[in-house]
């Protein structure tokens, strides 16, 4: 496909065949229609393009120049089209990815370095926020994609489950040495429901999961931690697994164009 108007395409075929009947066969059109198209083009150019020679045609000097100009334009268009297609196929540009700090620990930390190393022209803009804030950012087109916990269905969201995590009560001390203290992150989903089972415990709020884990490592108290954080610390032992599971999902806007770059990033998170 080229951006040339029909008359120019007809003219090129006629300039190559120099025979009206043969050109009509190739173009699958009547001689009268081809002749009219040629007349319109000659009027536009302001000069005859062919002269009759026996049973065939001969290009005039103006016709030879026009054929050369049109073919040059076609080659330029083809070359530009190929470059545009190649650029579209390149994995390049900026992709903004939002994640909760917990999922940044494992899923993001293993996927992003590979993306950056495999595709030098790709830039990742990483945003760390709470899951609810990330969902709002996706809905309002402020992020390309995000990894969040327990997203609620929304008509503007595509939600792809990656895995299930869990929240647990963890401790590093022997049972006989435990103190009635429980450390927790006040930003954790449904944390108050978990705390209600430990009414007589002293409650210590820390809004950083790695600091919580370090406290648990050096404390006789209990600690509420999500599994991706706690499993990094071999000394921590699971005391109780909270029944409510945490679904870790990848989300993006339904209207987000599925460009090659975007699809490649999705593939690195094992999403089809």
The domains found in the chain, sorted by start residue, are: 6-89 (1.10.10.10), 93-163+248-268 (3.40.190.10), 165-245 (3.40.190.290)
Distance CA 132, CA 157 (A): 13
Give 77's contacts (C-beta < 8 A, 6+ positions apart): 2, 3
Task: Provide, rounded to the nearest whole percent, the portion of the chain with pLDDT above 70.
Answer: 91
226 touches 187 (CB < 8 A):
no
Residue 169 bridge partners (DSSP): 224, 240
Distance CA 251, CA 246 (A): 15
Strand-pair category, 122-128 with 56-59: unpaired
Distance CA 99, CA 149 (A): 9
153 pLDDT band (50/70/90 cuts)? very high
Residue 71 is classified by DSSP as: H
User: How do residues 136-151 score in pLDDT, each as one tens digit?
Assistant: 999 999 999 999 988 9
76 pLDDT band (50/70/90 cuts)? confident
Q: What is the pTM of this model?
A: 0.59
Which among 105, 107, 234, 106 has a CA at the least distance from the CA of 170? 234
Distance CA 160, CA 270 (A): 10
Distance CA 209, CA 138 (A): 25
Dihedral-angle region of residue 267 (phi above 0 means left; psi in -120 to 50 means alpha; beta otherwise): alpha
Residue 139 CA, distance from chain mean position: 15
Which among 126, 102, 101 has a CA at the least distance from the CA of 113? 126
| Residue keyed to tokens 């996706």 | 138
Distance CA 169, CA 236 (A): 10
Distance CA 12, CA 6 (A): 10
User: How do residues 21-57 score in pLDDT, each as one tens digit?
Assistant: 999 998 888 999 998 988 999 898 899 999 988 888 9
């Amino acid at each position: 496909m080229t951006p040339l108007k029909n008359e120019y395409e007809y003219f090129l075929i006629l300039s190559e065949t120099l025979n009206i009947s043969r050109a009509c066969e190739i173009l699958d059109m009547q001689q009268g229609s081809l002749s009219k198209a040629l007349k319109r083009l000659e009027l536009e150019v302001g000069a005859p393009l062919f002269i009759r020679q026996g049973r065939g045609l001969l290009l005039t000097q103006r016709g030879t120049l026009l054929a050369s100009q049109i073919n040059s334009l076609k080659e330029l268009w083809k070359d530009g089209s190929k470059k545009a297609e190649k650029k579209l196929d390149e994995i390049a540009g900026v992709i903004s990815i939002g994640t909760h700090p917990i999922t940044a620990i494992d899923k993001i930390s293993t996927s992003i370095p590979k993306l950056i190393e495999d595709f030098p022209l790709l830039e990742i803009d990483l945003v760390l926020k709470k899951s609810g804030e990330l969902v709002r950012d996706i809905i309002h087109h402020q992020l390309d994609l995000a990894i969040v916990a327990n997203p609620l269905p929304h008509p503007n969201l595509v939600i792809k489950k990656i895995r299930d995590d869990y929240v647990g009560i963890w401790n590093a001390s022997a049972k006989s040495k435990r103190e009635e203290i429980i450390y927790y992150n006040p930003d954790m989903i449904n944390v108050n429901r978990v705390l209600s089972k430990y009414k007589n415990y002293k409650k210590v709020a820390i809004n950083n999961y790695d600091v919580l884990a370090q406290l648990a490592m050096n404390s006789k108290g209990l600690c509420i931690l999500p599994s991706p954080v706690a499993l990094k610390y071999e000394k921590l032992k699971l005391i109780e697994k909270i029944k409510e599971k945490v679904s870790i999902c990848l989300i993006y806007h339904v209207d987000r164009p599925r460009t090659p770059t975007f699809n490649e990033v999705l593939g690195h998170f094992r999403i089809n």
